[in-house]
Amino acid sequence: MLAFASNSLLNRLALQQQTIDAVSYTTIRLVSGAVMLFLIANLQKKSSGSILRGSWLSAMFLFLYAITYSFAYLSLKTGTGALILFGCVQVTMIVAALRSGERPQLLEWLGLFLALGGLVYLVFPGLAAPSLLGSALMATAGIAWGFYSIRGRGSQNPLADTAGNFVYTVPMILVIKLLTLGNAHISTNGVLLAILSGALSSGVGYVIWYAALRGLTTTRAAIVQLSVPVIAAWGGVVFVSEDVSARLLFAGMLILGGIALTVLSRGKP
């Protein structure tokens, strides 16, 4: 979740401050993630025989999430975007969980509603009538990330699968980049932020996420992600000198309390 929150902060710094255009940012992010994970997978291969795995379908969900997420924040405020994104992630993953036979317990449902209530309270001051296009893009990002996470629960080799998924996104994003060359603008800061996001927060972070998913039900995997806006908000306090508010403290308690109810419920799913 720290990696996901870092992605949110890096995206905000790069795109909302217009240090780089959305397509260039996403291109550098995915390519740097692919390079980093390819190198790590090759080192792992020498000792354990691991190879690049993943799938084109998972790569498509990863690509769709990354590109729509970047474009959505060009026309959405941070709070509105977070609410749409995580709302769609929750709906996608919980519907999939119910269809697969999971039956969340009462405490898990209570935890979900408590955490969602905390998210709404956290972002409420930043809510505004969203643009239709921005909302559609962010909803697409949330659904795509939900499916990408669901597919990760079956991963037997998180490093090889994530590395393969990133490598397979490269031709997809390069096609978009070639089609939008005329709209590109790049700065050194924008490039550095995109590389940090791709190589570390996304590349390494998504490997850890795929590894964690093996020990979580789909429902719990959905709900724990609601901690990301809280972590990102505190990151804004530390790194962007944003104010600490009573709203942030109270919303954080609601969200983390809801997640705790979900994770600590011990019964079988």
pLDDT (0 to 100) of residue 115:
87
Rounded distance between C-alpha atoms, residue 115 and residue 218, angstroms: 16
Residue type, 177: K
pLDDT (0 to 100) of residue 67:
94
Residue type, 126: G
Strand extents, DSSP E, the chain: none
Strand partners, 186: 20
Rounded distance between C-alpha atoms, residue 19 and residue 132, angstroms: 25
pLDDT (0 to 100) of residue 241:
64
Residue type, 68: T
Q: Is the Cβ–Cβ distance between 2 and 61 less than 8 Å?
A: no
How many alpha carbons lie under 13 Å from residue 87 in its C-beta half-sphere? 15
pLDDT (0 to 100) of residue 196:
94
Instruction: State which residues of the chain have pLDDT below 70.
Output: 45-50, 125-129, 239-243, 266-269
pTM exceeds 0.75: yes
pLDDT (0 to 100) of residue 86:
87
Residue type, 58: S
pLDDT (0 to 100) of residue 268:
46
pLDDT (0 to 100) of residue 46:
57
Query: What are phi and psi for residue 101, nearest 5 degrees?
Result: 105, 0
How many alpha carbons lie under 13 Å from residue 269 in its C-beta half-sphere? 15
